[in-house]
Amino acid sequence: MGNILEAPEIRLDAVELTLGATRFRLDCRIPAGAITAVAGPSGAGKSTLLNLIAGFETPTNGRVLFDEKDVTPLHPSERPVSLVFQDNNLFGHLDVFTNVALGVRPSLRRLGPPEREAVSAALVHVGLAGMEHRLPPSLSGGERQRVAFARVLVRRKPVLLMDEPFAALDPGLRLDMASLLSQLHRETGSTVVIVTHDPEELRRLSTHVLFMDRANILLQEPTADFLSHTDMPMVSQFLAG
């Protein structure tokens, strides 16, 4: 698949945001080209962190920086970011090919031959060769997430945000998908941020960890340091699963 644009470091610089009664104050650095896991109890604000980076939320104060570039005022479509959610990554009424092709060109014009080839190649890459014309409801949960990965590949964006992408899959499948993700990451070298509830997944995939609680970032450190942070009750509770 080849390398894409230079993967940026992501910085939240004194970002403030109020949602309902919750006030977020976020300040962190997410290293370039690494896989960073975001962990913490539910309601800690993990998805909000992703929404701020993707541009679905706009901070009331502070800036979101990709390397030195301030992306705070940019619309989601103008940020070099791809997204994978836990579910509903595909439009249920469009076939696999169209769902991936939307990543190449989100208009109604038909793709040219090279672009069509790129879509098919991406499907081969995620192990779904020949599934172009299947509809999402006829696929398994794992296959649907693979289609989402194929779209990430054709979009060639240097940042990949994932919100518990494997949480709906059973454990064996989760292992397969995690190794697919590491493989794709080795090839693209993009900056990956993955929200996870699963301590195994965090150990297996990430090199850095952001640990959040109640709208704050408590820890940001390499995974090895985080795993030895068992003196913090919240961390040991998380690692116990």
Partner 1 sequence: MLTTAERRTAIGTGLSAFAALVVFVALAVYALFRPDLPPSQTSFWTPYTMRVLRFTLLQAGLSTLLSIGLAVPVALALARRPRFPGRLWILRLMAVPMGLPALVAALGLITVWGTQGMVNDLLLGFGLDEPVNIYGLGGILLAHVFFNLPLACRLMVASLDRLPGEYWMLAAQLGMKPAVIFLRIEWPALSRILPGIGTLIFMLCATSFTLVLVLGGGPAATTLEVAIYQALRFDFDPARAMTLALLQIGVTAVVLAVLSLLPAAEEASVTTGRRSRRLDGRGTASVIWDAVMICCATLMLLLPLGAIVWAGVRADLTGLLTSTAFRQALATSTMVALSSSIAALLLSVAIIGARLTVRETKTPGKPLLALSAALGTAPLLVLLVPPVVLGTGWFLLLRPLASGSSLTAGLVVSINTLMALPFVIRVLEPAMQEHRRKTGRLTASLGISGWARIWRIDRPALIRPALLALSFAMSLSLGDLGAVALFASNDFVTLPWHLYSRLSSYRTADADGLALLLGALCLVLTLIGTSGYERRGNSHG
Task: Out of 10, 54, 153, 193, point to the residue binding partner 1 (CB under 8 A).
Answer: 54
For the beta carbon of residue 201, count every other beta carbon within 10 angstroms. Answer: 22
Residues in contact with partner 1, counted by CB under 8 A, come to a total of 23
> Measured from the CB atom, is 42 or 233 closer to partner 1?
42
Q: Using CA of residue 176, residue 181, residue 183, residue 184, what is the dihedral sign?
A: positive
Q: Does 43 bind partner 1 (CB under 8 A)?
A: no
Taking the CA atoms of 69, 75, 57 and 89 in sequence, report the sign of the dihedral they define.
negative
Query: Which 191-220 positions form the footprint of partner 1 (CB under 8 A)?
Result: none
Whole-number minimum distance, CB 21 to partner 1, in Å?
A: 17
Among 16, 19, 91, 179, binds partner 1 (CB under 8 A): 91
Among 2, 20, 77, 114, binds partner 1 (CB under 8 A): 77
- Tokens of residue 111, six digits: 């793709």
CB 211 within 8 A of CB 39: yes
Stretch that binds partner 1, among 54-62, 173-181, 183-191, 210-218 (CB under 8 A): 54-62
Our finding on whether 102 is near partner 1 (CB under 8 A) is yes
User: Which of residues 160 and 217 has its CB atom nearest to partner 1 in the complex?
Assistant: 160
Angle at alpha carbon of residue 88, lines to 39 and 165, rounded to 5°: 30
Q: What is the Cα–Cα distance from 166 to 84, expressed in whole angstroms?
A: 10
Site string for partner 1, 104-133 (x = CB under 8 A): --xxx-------------------------
Asked if 83 interacts with partner 1 (CB under 8 A), we say: yes
62 close to 105: Cβ distance less than 8 angstroms: no
Q: How far is the CB of 164 from partner 1 (least distance, A)?
A: 12
Round to whole Å and give the CA distance between 97 and 154.
Answer: 12
**DSSP code per residue over 36-74:** EEEE-STTSSHHHHHHHHHTSS--SEEEEEETTEE-TT-
Q: How far is the CB of 175 from partner 1 (least distance, A)?
A: 25
List of residues contacting partner 1 (CB under 8 A): 54-56, 75-79, 81-83, 85, 87-89, 91, 93-94, 102-103, 106-108
